[in-house]
Amino acid sequence: MAKEVNNSVQNSEAAEFTDDENFAAMLEESFKETDNEVTVDGVIVEIRDDIVLVDVGKKSEGRLYVSEIKDAEGNFTHKAGDTIKVVITGYRNEKPMVSHKKAVKKEKVKTFINNFNENDNLLFDVKVIGKNKGGLIVENSDGIDFFMPRSQIAVKDPQSLIGKTIKVSVLKIDKENQSIIVSRKKPLDEERKRRKDIIQELMEKDETVEGVVKKITTYGMFVDVGGVDGLVHYSEISYRGPVNPSSFYKEGDRVLVKAVSYDKEKRHLSLSIKSAQPDPWKEIEDQLEVKDVIQVTVSNIEPYGAFVDLGNDVEGFLHISEISWDKNIKHPKDYIREGQQIDVEVIEINIKERRLRVSLKNILPKPFEEFIKAHKVGDVIKGTVTTLTNFGAFIKIGAIEGLLHNEDSSWDKSAKCRNLFKEGDEIDIKIIKIDTENEKISLSQKELQESPIQKYAKKYISGSIVKGKILDIKDFGLFVELEDGVDALIRKEDFGSLNIDELKVGDELEAAVVFIDEKKNRIRLSVKRLSRIKEREVLNEINKDDKMTLGDIIKDQLK
């Protein structure tokens, strides 16, 4: 890199005197109009309306414009009888033409040259006031004119600089002609070399350096390190992740930074504040474990959760689902607030990906455990309908939710929770199952209602003869629909004389009730038992007829 810089400087110096035109010729062209000018002391003889007559030791008085002896406010700086420096610029009708301002400028140039020290290598501002064939004429704040050759302008269109203020340094001083040549290119080259050296040192040493915040933007801030500006992206300010730089710093603040990359093509130096600090993630690697309970501060709340500050530039994430056991939480702000200190449990630590997840609900009493302490299967309680689905409804009972399936909502098989309830309804429900492993509660409302079989049992008992239609035919038996929409089963072993091959869905048949199970809502029928009942009825009838006949015989014998 050093070799490249040296070559650049050598090429720059060589270019100073190798433009398309001969540099000496351009310089001569620039100052040829002043070759015969002479500076003398003159005495003001008379001040007229717009002309000042000055005795310069010639046959006739010299003339200069009144404006040359007035200041910016229009006040006279000299009066008749005063001795002033003037430059004889030429003659008109043998009368010398003189200029006081030009003489003052020449004196300033002379003073500048006498005081100039090549070792100072000063950089100063000048204003471009004109141009000639060889380059530009520039002027400093003291009114001193300088010449800048085209090779030292360092811009494609010199005309674009006229009227502008630029920074230059002295390239060469011609004491004989009392002229000063300046360069815009030279300080630019030196600045590029200086920047390159600083950047190279920053990248090679990989050390922490102090910088000054120059400008803050939405995407980061520019920091001056040794005269070179670098960008600290907002993601490189803190280990907690992207932050708003204006929340932490202001322009003029001193900060410790480290160079992280340099884009030669874009000349873009990237700096990092967080890389200049100890990595807090390494600190917590050996200090925290999953299941640890820590105190944090809520730093930012979003609709999907909250970011919490561990106090050492590390942020954890508290997802909305980890804030409360309430599954219907609408927004984290309903439970926590920014700046609040809370205890949370660590549920994930990923040092490599710099991810820390925490839970608030894990350290709160578990609603399911509290619920099963107070309730059991068979309890009838009140609940509120929170969500209606195609398969049922979720019912909030205290701090938890249970599920009421469509088939448990009514004895009507076609009934749907969507048609029976609306969200917000308060209903009575019965707990029919508690799944402790999966923490699920199954509910029923139909068990609080009189079932069709319970109604049926009021009319019929075991042994009753009933009629029904075949609903379905299975290998193990028949399902029969009785009155009031009640179903019953005839097992294969209870077919009796029935020939299953001759039966079809919709056929009517007669059977006897074997038993009615009101708890399990089941009815068993039997054709075989029906046959026995009918045989017994016939036998009873026969026996009845036989007894009457025997009595009659005895009666006849007694007579």
Per residue in 472-512, pLDDT (tens digit) is 999 899 999 988 778 899 998 988 888 888 888 989 998 99
The yes-or-no verdict on residue 553 having pLDDT over 80 is no
Q: Which residue has the higher pLDDT, 546 or 235?
A: 235
Residue 12 has pLDDT above 50, yes or no: no
Dihedral sign, Cα of residue 286, residue 290, residue 296, residue 300: positive
- Residue 34, pLDDT above cutoff 50: no
pLDDT confidence of residue 286: 82
pLDDT of residue 544: 63
Bigger pLDDT: 233 vs 455 = 233
Say whether domain 280-363 belongs to CATH 2.40.50.140. yes
Q: What is the pLDDT of residues 167-207, one digit of tens each?
A: 999 999 888 778 899 999 999 998 888 888 888 888 888 88
pLDDT higher than threshold 90 for residue 279: no
Cβ(388)–Cβ(421) below 8 Å: yes
The answer to whether the CB of 292 falls within 8 A of the CB of 308 is no
The pLDDT of residue 21 is above 60: no
CATH 2.40.50.140 fits 2-33+116-188, yes or no: yes
Mean pLDDT computed over every residue of the chain:
85
DSSP assigned state of 155:
S
User: Does position 317 have pLDDT exceeding 80, yes or no?
Assistant: yes
* More reliable by pLDDT, 401 or 520: 401
Predicted confidence (pLDDT) at residue 370 exceeds the cutoff of 70: yes
In the predicted model, is pLDDT for residue 291 greater than 50? yes
Q: What is the pLDDT of residue 325?
A: 85
* pLDDT digits 0-9 by tens, 519-548: 778 899 998 888 888 878 777 766 665 555
Would you say residue 238 has pLDDT above 60?
yes
**Distance between CA atoms of residues 82 and 98, nearest Å:** 15
pLDDT average, residue stretch 263-281: 88
Residue 36: per-residue pLDDT: 64
Q: What CATH number was assigned to the domain covering residues 455-532?
A: 2.40.50.140
Q: If you average pLDDT over residues 24-34, what whole number do you get?
A: 46
* pTM of structure: 0.47
CATH class of 36-104: mainly beta
Task: Tell me how far the alpha carbon of residue 87 is from its chain's centroid.
Answer: 70
| Among candidate residues 103, 65, 106, 60, the one with its CA nearest the CA of residue 84 | 103
pLDDT (average), residues 125-147: 91
* 31 pLDDT tier (thresholds 50, 70, 90): very low
Instruction: Give me the pLDDT at residue 1, please.
Output: 37
- The mean pLDDT value for 287-314 works out to 92
Once rounded to an integer, what is the mean pLDDT over residues 445-461? 85
Percent of the chain with pLDDT over 70: 90
The 3-state secondary structure of 349-370 reads EECCCCEEEEECHHHCCCHHHH
Query: Selecting from 2.40.50.140, 3.30.830.10, 3.40.50.720, 1.10.645.10, what CATH number does the domain 367-448 have?
Result: 2.40.50.140
Residue 326's pLDDT band (boundaries 50, 70, 90)?
confident
Instruction: Tell me how far apart the terminal alpha carbons of the chain are, to the nearest angstrom.
Output: 154
Is the pLDDT reported for residue 228 higher than 80?
yes
pLDDT at 6: 38
CATH code for the structural domain at 206-276: 2.40.50.140
User: Which 3 state secondary structure label does DSSP give 328?
Assistant: coil
| pLDDT value, residue 552 | 54
| CATH 2.40.50.140 residue ranges for the chain | 2-33+116-188, 36-104, 206-276, 280-363, 367-448, 455-532
H or E stretch covering 197:
helix 185-205
Q: Which pLDDT value is given to residue 3?
A: 36
